[in-house]
Each structure stands twice: as C-alpha cells, then as structure tokens.
Structure 1
Amino acid sequence: MRVLILGGTAWLGGAVARYAVGQGHEVTCLARGESGSVPEGARLVTGDRDRTDAYRPLVTPGWDLVVDVSRQPGQVRSALAALSDRSERWVFVSSGSVYADHSRPGAGLDTPLLPALDGDEAAPETYGEGKVACEVACRAARGDNVLLARSGLIVGYGDRSDRFGYWPGRFALAREDGGPVLVPKRTDRPAQFLDVTDLAAWIVDAGLRGVTGAVDAYGPQRVLGDVLAAAREVAGFAGVEVSVSDEALRDAGVEEFMGERSLALWLADPEWAGFSARDTTSAQVAGLSARGLVDTLRDALAWERELGLARTGRKAGLDRADELTIIEDARS
C-alpha cells in the first residue's frame, strides 16, 4: 500500500513510518526534516506545512492511507484541501485532551468536547481546542470516512516527556546509589498509557482496514501500584520505599503528573480522576491491543539509561537530590 505520513521524523510519526515500512508498504513522509531523519526504507519529501505548496509533490498518483499527527488546524485544513480527494483512507491522530471533563472514571466517547479553536494556530494552552478544530476539519472534508484516534498518554522508548520512564529510571538509580525511593502513599489511583509501538501499529493496520469514526486509543486500565511493582522488577530494585501522603507532597511544593518538580503519574486532584481511567471499549472494538507492561518498562528504562539516570531538569519527576530532601523531611 502507498502510505503517506504527514510528519514521520519525530517520535510517534517516526514509529508509524517504521512500522509501515516493516510491513512492506511504500512509505513517504512529509516533514521539514528538522526533528531527525525518516526510518530506513521510507522516502522523505521536505516541506513546510505552513506553506500550501508543501503538498504539491504529493498530489499524484494518490494514497491508500494518509496519517496526520499535526496539532495545528491550519495545517490539517490545507492537507485535506490538497490531498483528501486523492486519498482512500485518512487517520488523524487526535488526543484525549479534546474532552471538556476529566473527572469521571470510565467515561467514553459520549464525553462533551471542548469548543473548537477559532483560528489556524494552537498554542500549548489551547492544545485541546486545537485538536477539536482539527477533528472538525477532518469531518467537514471527509464526512464519516476518517479515523479520529484520540490518544492518551503515549510511552516507551524515545519518550521525552519523562512521565512514564521516571519510575523504572528512578528505581534503577536508587539501586545504584543505595538510597530510598519516594512514592505516593495512594497507589490505587488510575494510571493509563499505551506503548508507542502499539499505537503506531494500530494506526497503520486500522487505517488500512478502513476503521473510521472516533476511537479512544488508550491502553488498558491500570493503577499506579501496577506500574511501581513492575518498575521495581525491571530495575532490580530491592531497597526502601518511602510513602508520602498527598498533603505532604503538596506542602513540599510537588506538582502532579508532569512539569518541573513533579511526581510522575501522580494525580490526586478529583477534577482529573478520570484522566487516566477512560473506557477502552471503542479501542477494543477497533482492534487495539497492548504489549505487556514489563516489556514497555524495559524499553522505557533503556531510553532512561541513554538520557542519563541522574540527569537534572526533568520534564516530569523529581531531581534525585530534591527527592532525597523531601524523603528526609517526611521522615522527620
């Protein structure tokens, strides 16, 4: 099949291209080429999607599948205008951030959406609204003949968000330095994610099978305790864990989930109780499956080792010295 990926040099787009090439498809990637190279076997067409002429080399002879990972409504609209009539199937990689409410565990596709962004460019703070506008553009151009893959937290090798890899990396670092690991006292809260390789494979296979409509492309429902137990196993950690309450973490200025001085995957705010606990029925019906947790953690740990277990300035998680200070305060 002829597969076009609008992207293909960054993390998810690269994984999609790599899988498609591995399946024997003829893969072309449109990208500026600034995020890296395309996988071996794929063809790179260099172009800036903010320019309408970027699609000119791609108009003929047509495509069996187009995969678009953009978050910018203007880019999505221009791609559809140039290529939709020449493409049999279309997948737009959206996000669970399109939903207006994240408080209800087990919520599904009936959850209300945010208002669509009015404009062509989404800022980080309007990411969800921008993705809604992209979905609106896809439906306007293709009706029901489009797969809207609303992804949740994507994890695995190559993840630069630090949100998932923090835990196997931290247990591995503690094994090396002999110190304790700080964990939240409540580990029964949801933790939901999907390996990038599973998402990439499903995007290609489901797209070519002709799966359409909105799908919550989330992994299995788990709790944080599952992740911690498996991360300890993968890292070979047999040391001490120090459980710290929500109140003590907040008093120490620790942020939830991600960001500077955060505790990765920790979500105590009831307004976000459903963020990592979405219903997976639509994903299962659409044929999405997930690899084992231990395998994903091994890949995440390998990536953490490449980046440096003791690195500072993480995008999610605590620097080691800061973590040990919080542990000392909690013990006193």
Structure 2
Amino acid sequence: MTDVLLLGGTGWLGARIAERWLDAGAHVTCLARGGREAPYGARLVTGDRDDPAVYSVLADRQWDEVVDISSRASHVAAAVAALGGSARHWTYVSSVSAYASNTDPGADESAALADPATSDADDYARQKSGGEAAVRAALAHRAAVIRPGLIVGPGDPTDRFGYWVSRLALAGAGPVLIPDTPRAGVQVIDVDDVADVAHAVGREMFVGAVNAVGDPLHLAAFLDEARDVAGHTGALVAAPPDWLVQHDVAYWAGPRSLPLWLPADMPGFTSRSNATYRLLGGRLRPLRTTLERALADERSRGLDRPRAAGLRRDDELALLAELP
C-alpha cells in the first residue's frame, strides 16, 4: 500500500488532497495542530511545527509521498531535513506569489522567483520562495513544486471569489458596485482541480515546477458569467479606481475591499502560463461550474453573513449613493 504523509491535511486544500490519496487506496497520515478532524480514513498526528521534535514520530518509516503546503519557509526546511531522507517523492504546494515580478503577461515556470525568506517575518512571496529553495536544495531530483494561482470554490476561507456571485445574488434587481477596469485580468483555479494535480504529480512522481492556474480572462467577462449564474438583473455600477482608493476601498482582499481587483501595474499576476499544467493533463473545470458550486456554498452560509473579504452591503450602498 502507498504511504502518504500530508504536512497539514485537515484544511481546505490539504483535506482535498488527502481525500484524493484515500480514494486511490493509499494509507494517509496527516500532521496538523489539531482542532479539525482529518478526512475519514486518514490517521491524524497532532503536533506543532514550531516544535523541533514534531517529526520524530514520523521519521521511523519510509514515505512514498510527502505533501507540504506550509507558507513558512522555516517549517518547510525543518520538514525536509527531518523527513527528506525517508521520502521517495516530495510535493511542495507553493504559489504564483513566489515569483519576483508580476509585470510580464504569459510568464512561465522559468520566471525568476522572489528572494527566499531569511526570517519568519518576511512576506508571503519570500516565504513560498524560501520553501521552494529548501525543497530544491535537498530533493531536486525527486520533488514537484506546484504554484497555484488564486484557488477558489466552495469552502474558500478567504471569501474572495465567492464575494461576487454572492453579492450579485443578494442584490437581485439592485445595483452592484464594481471597479471601472473592464480590461483588468482574472485568473482562478478550482480547489478540486488543484487537489487533482497534487495527487497526479505525486502518483507519477513528477519532478519540476508547474503553474496550477486557470485560463486568463477579463474581469468584465468574469462578472458577466457571475451575474448570469446569480440571476442578477440590476445595474453594474463602475467606479473609477482612484475614486475607490480615495474612499478607502481596498484592492484584492480583506474587509472593505473589492475582491480580485488589482492595481494596473500587475498584469502578469493574472496571466501566468498554464501550458505545463495542460501538458501534464491538468483539468480546468468550467468557470460556470465553479461559480455555481461557490454560490450554493454561499447560500448555505448566508448571503448577508459577515465576510473576510468584500464590502458590507450597507457600505456598498453608501458608496453608490456618493458616486458622482
């Protein structure tokens, strides 16, 4: 039987990767802090990765596959040092945020990475780059690096993607505020597509890096599809980016934001090449399918619930009233 270790495995993406391996008949162990159950059929080992001894209970066996999703380079390096010698293959789930630049549309996996992290205080890009560096240094000939773009779909804890289809459904025949950037880009990938490719590269023992990203599209096309799925019949009211910034509306994510909206100087972030992903047989669910799944999830959680990202409806209506 295939022995698989998930460093994580109880969260949103990690649990789905664990489920893929379980469905394939593997014996799956998840190392996690606790507080959430491991997928049914997996063994949960509770431990804190800040503890240098956390890997001691896992180092006494050979692992056919180790999957690490950590966003802290020091955790990745410690795991590689403790378990790298007993792993036939290693998959590190990094991010397109690990790239040094977001200015070049169509850039592929050969693009330069950010400087690796040198402390836990370094930003997300450097942490992911540092995690990759640790894996490459010790496991270059038996490791895969997956660099997902914006992962979306039901259960998304960041609330970014689901904001739009949820807000459009909540608004109904009412107006919805959008940024006046119709040519801006959007590039997303369904969480289950990422889980599928993570399982596939481990099963095939793929060595190298792959951008796990969807096909690029314009924000306007994305909003049209979301609007259709949500059944929205009201107006989309576009506000100039400068006006939004002046009124304390944030880019991308977080409270009082318009999710997925990015500054104009980052065209490469939403147009990474997915040619390698396609060559590996990577699946991309239709955007409409992901939107429908996201809307069903949003309805189950409440369209008017407090959100980790986006505008509250009352704030949105106040902004719409202020627009010239």
TM-score range, shorter chain: over 0.9
1:139 is matched with 136
In 1: Cα distance, 2:29 partner to 2:245 partner: 48
In 1: Cα distance, 2:193 partner to 2:278 partner: 13
Query: Which of 270, 274, 291 does residue 264 from structure 2 map onto?
Result: 270
In 2: Cα distance, 1:60 partner to 1:295 partner: 43
Q: What's the CA shift for 1:324?
A: 1.0
Q: What's the CA shift for 1:210?
A: 1.4
Q: What's the CA shift for 1:88?
A: 1.0
In 2: Cα distance, 1:144 partner to 1:286 partner: 18
2:231 is matched with 236
CA contact under 8 A between 2:185 and 2:217: conserved in structure 1? yes
CA contact under 8 A between 2:184 and 2:264: conserved in structure 1? no
Structure 1 gaps, min length 5 = none
2:13 is matched with 12
Q: 1:83-130 CA deviation, whole Å, 9 max, x = no partner?
A: 2121111100111111111122112223222111113x2x4x511111
CA contact under 8 A between 2:174 and 2:233: conserved in structure 1? no
In 2: Cα distance, 1:50 partner to 1:319 partner: 37
In 1: Cα distance, 2:38 partner to 2:129 partner: 28
* Structural mapping, 1:65-104, within 5 Å: 65-104=65-104
CA contact under 8 A between 1:89 and 1:208: conserved in structure 2? no
In 2: Cα distance, 1:96 partner to 1:32 partner: 26
Q: What's the CA shift for 1:135?
A: 1.0
* Structural mapping, 1:101-120, within 5 Å: 101-119=101-119
In 2: Cα distance, 1:192 partner to 1:64 partner: 33
CA contact under 8 A between 1:50 and 1:75: conserved in structure 2? yes
Counterpart residue identity of residue 165, structure 1: G
Q: Secondary structure of the equivalent of 1:91?
A: strand
* Structural mapping, 1:104-253, within 5 Å: 104-119=104-119, 121=120, 123=121, 126-175=123-172, 178-253=173-248
- With the length of structure 1 as denominator, give the TM-score of the two structures: 0.92
Give the ranges of 4+ consecutive aligned residues of structure 1 lying more than 4 Å apart after TM superposition: none
CA contact under 8 A between 1:260 and 1:315: conserved in structure 2? yes
Q: What's the CA shift for 1:305?
A: 2.2
CA contact under 8 A between 1:103 and 1:270: conserved in structure 2? no
Q: What's the CA shift for 1:58?
A: 1.8
Q: 1:34-67 CA deviation, whole Å, 9 max, x = no partner?
A: 3x11111111111222223222222233111110
Query: Which of 280, 298, 313 does residue 320 from structure 1 map onto?
Result: 313
- With the length of structure 2 as denominator, give the TM-score of the two structures: 0.94
Counterpart residue identity of residue 6, structure 1: L
Q: Secondary structure of the equivalent of 1:51?
A: coil
In 1: Cα distance, 2:265 partner to 2:236 partner: 28
* Structural mapping, 1:291-302, within 5 Å: 291-302=285-296
In 2: Cα distance, 1:205 partner to 1:116 partner: 27
In 1: Cα distance, 2:230 partner to 2:25 partner: 35
In 1: Cα distance, 2:43 partner to 2:215 partner: 34
Q: Secondary structure of the equivalent of 2:55?
A: helix
Q: Secondary structure of the equivalent of 2:145?
A: strand
CA contact under 8 A between 1:219 and 1:289: conserved in structure 2? no
2:64 aligned with 1:64, yes or no? yes
In 1: Cα distance, 2:28 partner to 2:165 partner: 34
Q: Secondary structure of the equivalent of 1:315?
A: coil
Structure 2 gaps, min length 5 = none
| Residues matched between the structures, number | 323
Q: Secondary structure of the equivalent of 1:4?
A: strand
Counterpart residue identity of residue 13, structure 2: L
In 2: Cα distance, 1:76 partner to 1:243 partner: 43
Q: What's the CA shift for 1:19?
A: 2.0
The sequence identity of aligned pairs, in percent, is 42
